[in-house]
Amino acid sequence: MKIIFLILITVYSFEVFSSNENLPNCPQYGSHPKCIKTFGGSYGGKYIGSVTNGQSNGYGVFIGKSGEKYDGYWIDGLRSRGKQTFSDGGIYDGDWGRKYPNLGMHGMGIYFYPNGESFEGLFSKNKPAAGTLVKKDGSNLTLVYSWDWEKYKGGSILFGTLTYPDGTTYEGEFDKYNNPKDIKLSPSDDGKSDNKSQSQSNDIRPVASGTGFAINEEGSIITNNHVVDGCEAVKVHHKGETYTSTMIAKDVINDLAIIKVDFKPNYFFTLKEQDPSILDEIVVAGYPFGMQISSNIKVTKGIVSSLAGIGNNYSQIQIDAALQPGNSGGPIIDLEGNLVGVAVSKLDLMTIVEDYGVVPEDTNFGIKSNVVKNLLLGNSINFSSSKDYRSNNTDLVEKINESTFFLSCWMSQENIKKYGDTKVMFKNP
């Protein structure tokens, strides 16, 4: 899973003002190209630079009482892009979030830790999100972070590529302490490593992904058959933890599968009792494009457009909510949080363009919940039907977050070759 970033480290053309005795005080509401402003309180300090309408705008330097220092550009009183030296010795050079002041480090940048390590890449809400961590021993770790402050008080790496100083690499999952889970080193290109026995064709690695969701409190998870087909292991990722699943049942014709994990989810989806109707409002949840964009769950909203799929397939519904690779197996729910269907497919762009000469828009499909019900009944798996109360947005978001999971498909090299034309594989796992 290669993540390539172009970082433009800011080179500032202004000198830090070493002498400011003759600088005027910044006007409270006016503008000045170079003035000084003093702040009181616990977060007090001094700003030297340009102001517009009484706010820091353009280039300026802020020196705080605690020893922090920001040297860079400002927009409407908020940091825009610049170099921040923190009181603990850490240094960040890059973009800052300006939509809300508390976003902090937000965008592309590089952070130099006090212990000598550095992280270069994408930051989100004051935390590293995806990029390369250069460790003290010289190793490089290209990774995607998933943050769960409540549980771990820090970031947990989902997938990553760790390159050791001798050129050997580890690709795969990391545990909650950010250590590689299954050590399988691959030899470096220069042949220095003799760990070839650990890179045999029967080693498995993550090659594709999809979405699944809890259908009961016992750990039963619904997804598409094509998500799990050919996988030698299907792993379920939730809140920084990874669970290896067990296959329970498959419905190849309707493209459904049931897997089970050894944990009890806090929430699960109930099946909607009534059949869907045209114009019913729905929400789709899942992990489109896997972790390439971000590790957070994504939702799209739309309506039921038709009560049949392609070729008058009445086991499916057509929806206009967006679906992308990685959404497969995700829940389609109503605004009360009840399961209406399972995301399964969208029209093939090239086929429609070739046959009809137009680009298809908002034409996606899901498997009806009554088909899911039949699969559950046939395998004696517990489930619940829809309840009478209406969820508010907060309840619905919590239910989606707690009940919907990222699934990774792990394969050996042999199966990768076998299924490479039938599954959407990672280009750079």
Could you report the per-residue pLDDT of 84-108, keeping only the tens digit for each?
998 888 899 988 876 555 568 887 8
Looking at mean pLDDT, say which of 106-110, 126-130, 364-368 comes out highest: 364-368
Q: Where does a domain end: 84, 107, 130? A: 107
- pLDDT band at residue 134, thresholds of 50, 70 and 90? confident
Q: Is residue 403 part of a domain?
A: yes
pLDDT at 48: 93
Q: Is residue 421 part of a domain?
A: yes
Nearest to 387 by CA among 338, 348, 353, 340: 338
Q: Is residue 147 part of a domain?
A: no
Same domain? 228 vs 356: yes
Per the model's pLDDT, the better-predicted residue between 333 and 138 turns out to be 333
Listed in order, strand segments (DSSP E) in 103-238 are 105-112, 118-124, 127-134, 140-147, 155-163, 169-173, 204-214, 220-223, 233-238
Give CA–CA dist 275/373, Å, rounded: 12
Q: Where does a domain end: 57, 73, 107? A: 107
Q: Is residue 349 part of a domain?
A: yes
- Does 190 have pLDDT greater than 60? no
- Domain of residue 361, CATH code: 2.40.10.120
Q: Which two tokens stand for residue 196?
A: 């070839």
Name the helix (H) or strand (E) containing 402: helix 393-403
> In what order do the strands lie in the sheet containing 233-238?
241-244, 233-238, 404-412, 204-214, 220-223, 256-260, 246-251
Give CA–CA dist 267/405, Å, rounded: 12
Task: Identify the sign of the CA torsion 279, 280, 283, 284.
Answer: negative
Q: Is residue 131 part of a domain?
A: no
pLDDT at 193: 38
Domain of residue 17, residue span: 1-107
Q: Is residue 161 part of a domain?
A: no
Per the model's pLDDT, the better-predicted residue between 127 and 359 turns out to be 127
pLDDT one-digit tens code per residue, 228-261: 988 889 999 888 788 989 999 999 889 999 999 9
Percentage of the chain beyond pLDDT 90 is 30
pLDDT one-digit tens code per residue, 339-359: 999 998 754 444 434 544 544
Same domain? 390 vs 277: yes
Same domain? 284 vs 426: yes
Looking at mean pLDDT, say which of 79-83, 113-117, 329-333 comes out highest: 329-333
Q: Which of 178-182, 242-246, 274-278 has the lowest mean pLDDT?
A: 178-182
Q: Where does a domain end: 55, 74, 107? A: 107
Average pLDDT for 366-395: 81
Give CA–CA dist 347/352, Å, rounded: 7
Same domain? 222 vs 87: no
- pLDDT band at residue 12, thresholds of 50, 70 and 90? very low
Number of domains in the chain: 2
Q: Is residue 313 part of a domain?
A: yes
Give CA–CA dist 369/392, Å, rounded: 22
Nearest to 163 by CA among 132, 191, 190, 197: 132
Q: Which of 25-29, 78-82, 163-167, 247-251 has the lowest mean pLDDT?
A: 163-167
Same domain? 223 vs 102: no
pLDDT at 3: 35
Nearest to 204 by CA among 171, 174, 180: 171
Q: Is 6 helix (H, G, I), strand (E, B) or coil?
A: coil
pLDDT at 396: 87
Average pLDDT for 378-386: 87
Average pLDDT for 396-410: 91
Give CA–CA dist 165/70, Å, rounded: 34
What phi and psi, each to the nearest 5 degrees, are found at residue 331? -75, 140
- pLDDT band at residue 27, thresholds of 50, 70 and 90? very high
- Does 279 have pLDDT greater than 90? yes
Mean of per-residue pLDDT scores for the chain: 76
Q: Which of 68-77, 133-142, 216-225, 280-289 has the lowest mean pLDDT?
A: 133-142
Average pLDDT for 297-302: 91
pLDDT at 368: 94
Q: Is residue 332 part of a domain?
A: yes
